[in-house]
Amino acid sequence: MLTTHKISPELYFETFELLAIHTALEDYAMAYALNAHLKLRLCRPGQDMTLSDSVSFSLFEWMDEMSDTQWTLFNNQTKQEQNGLLGGLFDNDSAMGIKYLVNERKEVDYFLKIQSDDLRLAQQSVSQINKIPEVITAYVIDVETLQSRKNLIM
């Protein structure tokens, strides 16, 4: 008699807290503001995060060895040149299209992913981020409701 073992889908996904940030700041300025207000050391790695359809999003990350916490700042939108979309007279012209990391949250400018055992860290971070003058609002997102969750797992 054969035994069948099923792998739970939870094993494929890491657990993390996700914060949504609404702001008009550029990515480097947002990382700088988070570093200043949250006492982080976010920095840009050698390359950006690239999705399967060759769309890249800016990425800043830092591993806090003292608290065993991984911090990752993602830009939610990027502009991509799309050729020949118009058709007709301007067939060879290119247009700029916007691609989103998390399609169901197009209104969000940045996501801050926090991987930590400290359950209070996300809520504490939200209150500190909301004190940044250039930030419109920040809040915790329920990751389980996102269909594009796999885009946030590296």
The one-letter code for the residue type at 27 is: D
What's residue 12's pLDDT?
46
Q: Say how many CA atoms lie within 13 Å of 107 toward its Cβ.
A: 5
* In the predicted structure, residue 10 carries a pLDDT above the cut 70: no
Chain centroid to CA 63: 16
pLDDT tens, 107-142? 999 999 999 988 899 999 999 999 999 999 999 998
Beta bridge partners of 69: 64
Residues 42-49: what's their mean pLDDT? 87
**Structure tokens of 23?**
């702001």
The CATH classification of domain 14-152, taken from the options 3.40.50, 1.25.40, 3.30.310, 2.60.40 = 3.30.310
Instruction: Write down the domain spans for the chain.
Output: 14-152
Kindly list the distances between the CA atom of residue 52 and the CA atoms of 11, 38, 84, 90, in Å, as whole numbers in the listed order: 22, 32, 21, 29
Residues 25-48: what's their mean pLDDT? 94
Give the global pTM: 0.80
Do 114 and 121 touch, CB atoms closer than 8 A? yes
Alpha carbon distance 100, 111 (integer Å) = 12
